[in-house]
Amino acid sequence: MRTQWLDETIVYDGVQLRAHWALARTGLVGDVLVGFRGPCRVADAEIADLADVDGPGIAGDDMVHFVWEAFDHADLLLAVHRQRLLAAQARELLAELAPRATVQRDGDDLWVGDGKLSISIATVSPVSALVHFAVNATPGGAPVRTATLQELGVEPIAFGRALLARIAGEQQSIADARAKVRPKGEWR
């Protein structure tokens, strides 16, 4: 898997979570994780989570976004595990960058007290698995009470670049672990 931080501001409206968007944007062929900063205004037709379809909307004025498209092992169950691990990694990174704050993970969501720090979804296209994860950078524009990286004193782009590296690193480590283990037999 390859990663790329995109320096330009991109409005995330949900079409970025479609097959081959990352390829078109970056030219990187294969499993790719891209990060960028920009507002979030998910169009109704692009909402993937049925729990959100009749909700207050998915929006924010300034977020750090991650879009992951995997063609290899494009299975939804695995994708949700990857998404959860990504959220856990984000929390771990924040524990290092903002050691005094208390960030909680609840499934694919991060919280600071009762402020929602992140949004996320994992889904599939006919040819790939897709994960979106985004963290509020600065306040404003969200339909719910939020927390932000600004409140945590975390610089958004440094956070974004660091998380890209961590996720790629752990995926490599997972692949390596799989290739170094002996199988086990029957207990009796």
Interface with a second copy (CB under 8 A): 15, 17-21, 23-24, 29-31, 46-51, 53, 71-73, 76-78, 80-82, 84-85, 88-89, 91-92, 95, 99, 102, 104-105, 107-108, 121-128, 130, 170, 173-188
* Strand 128-136 with 118-125, pairing: antiparallel
Nearer to a second copy, 10 or 47 (CB): 47
Q: Whole-number minimum distance, CB 94 to a second copy, in Å?
A: 11
**Phi, psi at residue 143, to the nearest 5°?**
-80, 0
Q: What is each CA distance from 175 to 1, 48, 127, 170, 171, in whole angstroms?
A: 11, 28, 21, 9, 6
The letter for the amino acid at 142 is: A
Nearer to a second copy, 23 or 144 (CB): 23
Nearer to a second copy, 70 or 137 (CB): 70
CA 62 to chain centre: 15
Token pair 């959860």: residue? 84
Nearer to a second copy, 107 or 140 (CB): 107
Q: Whole-number minimum distance, CB 140 to a second copy, in Å?
A: 27
CA geometry: angle at 159 spanning 156 and 165, to 5°? 145
Q: Whole-number minimum distance, CB 50 to a second copy, in Å?
A: 5
